Structure 1
């Protein structure tokens, strides 16, 4: 039996419609981790959809209660073939964001897989049920073809990623001895372009916080008090304007990373950031000295997510009593997470905005991580993908978004290689979420080839 046989087997799995029917079953579980009423579905997904399948593949499994009461359960599994073989850890999350019922276009429903042309619609298709289904099915194809994987493997499936992976780090600390591995190979996030495979080795971190100016109790008539009472919205707008310049270039020294090395620049050179179904990129926005790829993958970005003062939907002639802005910093390796808020405090005070309060959001974000593109595991994955697809994949030192990759890096000490199976136009975290059938077929073939190659070369 050969590599080609394994790829043919996974291709037949797709062509026969089995992948689509199995994905439909997974999508039908309403696993909204952001919805407390859906908590029972989180455990049901692991017990009914995942555990029996993994056990049939020879995995020993355990479903673990989350030590954080705000999080859902986790599944840890292991398939051990022999001593001396590499240990591959893989990961996925079965929880999804809120369904946003009533916001999907006519003919679509969040928890029903609906096919339209090359698209399969449903909540969790792109994030992340399709992605871990592809990897599990690829492992099955190699196992059925060769009779063994040729390596040992462990798997973690969590049900709390959409609420910041609550409890994941605690579980990793507690079960560290059961999660040792040579590498993490997992899938989440999008490809840069649907037709070209992508490999990334880390992610940007993120922190969200509120800035608020609270001056008095109640609003007061703008005719009687205009010019006499300080306007909190104006004060807040002026304070926000000191954080970046007019093209969004960050003005806080501690928020400007020092990690955009020549190696990272070389890896990012020529990578696409536009195209597909996304909006046009503003070439005159962001750090002027950087390329667009360097701005989004190699640098920090500040955003104002929302602002309120008064009653925006029904303005009245009054000076507001308070104003608030919810802000976010996405940051790369080279930024000190513990100093992000203190640095902002120092900056605002130096600019004369001592009255602006800063409140960090309760929801945790993941820390920034990055693996050098020259790492041997990166080379092995890239070589395998190129052999199967016939084209060189896009290689990113880190994703622009955030993932719980820091738990794998900082707690388990692993090199991490991610091979995403979605694309940027998938409407992830929005109504009408979907995947592409053509991309899924390609991803199944890539992963079957990759797992075959790891087993083929594992002993050496």
Structure 2
């Protein structure tokens, strides 16, 4: 059977309504990982939806206990056809954020798929049930077309705690390198650049949160009696934060700035146009790093954001000098940033400017990742995506947001390719979340072609990848 015949059959299967039925069942399972009373639903998603689908493709199932969140287990589906064949690792998460039922518009229920025009509404439709459902469907199409074979080995890891920060994911990958080992990683999460343009991204920016605090005294004091005599932690902390990022949103801590953009990355980002979003805010053209385009600021640079700032009682301001102030800031960063020493760098920067009283505490962080855009696997994926869709795909060196990609890129040491099946206005993490039917259909075409070609020439592709790595002297 030719690839065109396989793609025609995939379209017919999708148009038959079968995919919609599958997605409808999965959305109906209330797998909210942020709630403590959804254990049975989380188990039901794995055992009633994922397990039968993977077993029908001849995958063996291994449930992996979560060492950090016992009620959020992992499920690994494994199909080894021949040890000489390449092994693909896929990934998806079946947990969702809070349903937020009361805030969906009239006529919509987060746990009941509803079709309106090109939209399928439902919690998890875009993040991430709909996306990994597309990828499982692509495996099913290939399995049927090849008469019960994929043409490559495959492992599919499902987690149920991504929306609470993927606790345990790094640990199980670190402790099970053989069980989870593979040659290449392909998965789907996050949005495309736009609804119309298929997108490939190669990693994600990292994120690290820090708390800045000043504890001047253990109580507040009347501003009329003590104003001008006692230091004001709120005023001091406001000035301290202003020394980190200026009035134009430009990062002022030199030790936390990234390396200069390479010409290769500049060229790639030069082809990206941020599409207008009628539902989103207008971009502030004068905000952010000087000399960079908005695209370069989003995908190629570091930004420091103030997430919260608290001093006194905002709900009921008193005529008093507050005794303390605290702020939580977040650095989004690209590879090459010394983020793990952020507390040291901020403390040194603030101390040099007289803010010795500010305590800096690193809260949590995840590394930045980026597969080398020159890797031949990137060119292969882009070509296959264009052939499947008839459109030139967008290439992003990394996502602007964050994903647990460091687990796959750094711990399992895999080249990572992400092919999202959503778009920026999908309502992810908000009311009225939806999946565009047109993107799901096109996504099935793209993934079917990608995985078909992996079965046709996977060994050759991975040989070119290894040769490239040897020439560059770098890891994936």
Query: After TM superposition, is the score higher than 0.5?
Result: yes
1:145 to 2:145 alignment: yes
Shift of 1:237: 0.7
1:202 maps to: 203
SS in 1 for 2:336: coil
Q: What is the distance in 1 between the residues matched to 2:177 and 2:260?
A: 29
Please tell me the root mean square deviation across aligned C-alpha atoms, in Å: 1.6
2:394 maps to: 394
The answer to whether the Cα contact below 8 Å between 2:342 and 2:362 also exists between their aligned partners in 1 is: no
2:166 maps to: 165
* Structure-2 change in CA distance of 1:431 and 1:256 (3 Å): same
2:61 maps to: 61
Q: What is the distance in 2 between the residues matched to 1:69 and 1:425?
A: 31
1:348 maps to: 350
SS in 2 for 1:422: coil
Shift of 1:459: 4.9
Identify the range of structure 1 (345-354 vs 267-276) with the bigger mean alpha-carbon deviation. Answer: 267-276
The answer to whether the Cα contact below 8 Å between 1:192 and 1:273 also exists between their aligned partners in 2 is: yes
Q: What is the distance in 1 between the residues matched to 2:51 and 2:273?
A: 39
* Paired residues for 1:199-278 under 5 Å: 199-258=200-259, 260-276=261-277, 277-278=279-280
Q: What is the distance in 2 between the residues matched to 1:224 and 1:40?
A: 59
Identify the range of structure 1 (381-390 vs 27-36) with the bigger mean alpha-carbon deviation. Answer: 27-36
The answer to whether the Cα contact below 8 Å between 2:256 and 2:339 also exists between their aligned partners in 1 is: no
Q: What is the distance in 2 between the residues matched to 1:71 and 1:298?
A: 37
- Cα displacement string for residues 382-425 of structure 1 (whole angstroms, at most 9, x for unaligned residues): 11111011121001111111111111111111100000111111
Unpaired stretches in structure 2, ≥5 consecutive residues: 461-476
- Cα displacement string for residues 419-448 of structure 1 (whole angstroms, at most 9, x for unaligned residues): 011111112122222111111111111111
2:302 maps to: 300
1:358 maps to: 360
- Cα displacement string for residues 50-85 of structure 1 (whole angstroms, at most 9, x for unaligned residues): 011101111011111101136610011111222322
Q: What is the distance in 2 between the residues matched to 1:208 and 1:311?
A: 23
Q: What is the distance in 2 between the residues matched to 1:231 and 1:274?
A: 44
Q: What is the distance in 2 between the residues matched to 1:301 and 1:67?
A: 33
What is the count of residue pairs matched by the alignment? 458
1:155 maps to: 156
Unpaired stretches in structure 1, ≥5 consecutive residues: none
SS in 2 for 1:386: helix
SS in 1 for 2:12: helix
SS in 2 for 1:250: coil
1:312 maps to: 314
- Cα displacement string for residues 294-314 of structure 1 (whole angstroms, at most 9, x for unaligned residues): 111111111111222222223
Q: What is the distance in 1 between the residues matched to 2:109 and 2:308?
A: 28
2:21 maps to: 21
The answer to whether the Cα contact below 8 Å between 2:220 and 2:322 also exists between their aligned partners in 1 is: yes
* Structure-2 change in CA distance of 1:115 and 1:315 (3 Å): farther
* Structure-2 change in CA distance of 1:323 and 1:101 (3 Å): farther
Shift of 1:212: 1.6
The answer to whether the Cα contact below 8 Å between 1:70 and 1:166 also exists between their aligned partners in 2 is: no
Q: TM-score, normalised by structure 1?
A: 0.96
